[in-house]
Chain A
Amino acid sequence: RKEVEQDPGPFNVPEGATVAFNCTYSNSASQSFFWYRQDCRKEPKLLMSVYSSGNEDGRFTAQLNRASQYISLLIRDSKLSDSATYLCVVNPRGELNNNNDMRFGAGTRLTVKP
């Protein structure tokens, strides 16, 4: 079983739709969780950190469910520019700033269509 698992998609949604992705992790001691965005043939960039009970940033909401060991990313009112691959990232050691142990999911591809 992979340490971080994501539905690869692709998710194809119309503009304005609400879409949600889930990510499960295997290490119950994990403390730090993140969503990165990666455009086609580009580098990943931090979208959101997810701490404690979750985080919201404009149209994006990330939530954490420790009991079930998953995090989710909700995108409301999808824009064409949201088309990208979304990577779930987990720090399994639970030590803040211990970047050497980050585990990346394979990503979920989203395409928003007009």
Chain B
Amino acid sequence: DADVTQTPRNRITKTGKRIMLECSQTKGHDRMYWYRQDPGLGLRLIYYSFDVKDINKGEISDGYSVSRQAQAKFSLSLESAIPNQTALYFCATSDPGGAGNTIYFGEGSWLTVV
């Protein structure tokens, strides 16, 4: 089983709908992240959290919100989805006290907004 689990893995939604992507981890890491990946652009950071209730904006936070309900859970919401939010989304964790800067990614969530 994956240490970082994302649900759903695939979702097609309509413009204007609210959608939530959920992430849970069993690695015991305090730091969690949400990235999106687009062809030709690389991974970009949306939000990150260093602890429960700690929320920080990343490079491209507009149109997104997050919730860190527990150490193991970090959810990403699109309040009103738009087509340019079609992308592959990754949740990730890291442990600063562990193997340096290693980031551990979930398997990804493919989101299509039509």
Contact = CB atoms under 8 A, between A and B. Distances in A.
Interface of A: 4, 8, 32, 34, 41-46, 49, 87, 91, 96-97, 99-100, 102-107
Contact of B96 (A32, A91, A97): A97
A45 B105 CA distance: 7
A65 B102 CA distance: 22
Contact of A91 (B43, B45, B58, B101): B101
B35, B41, B97, B101 interface centre (most CB from chain A within 10 Å): B101
A34 B103 CA distance: 11
Interface of B: 31, 33, 35, 39-45, 48, 50, 56, 58, 90, 94, 96-97, 100-103, 105-108
Nearest to A34: B101
B101 A106 contact: no
A41 B58 CA distance: 24
A33 B88 CA distance: 24
B73 to A, nearest CB: 18
Contacts of B44: 104
Given A45-B105, A46-B102, A100-B45, A8 B40 contact: yes
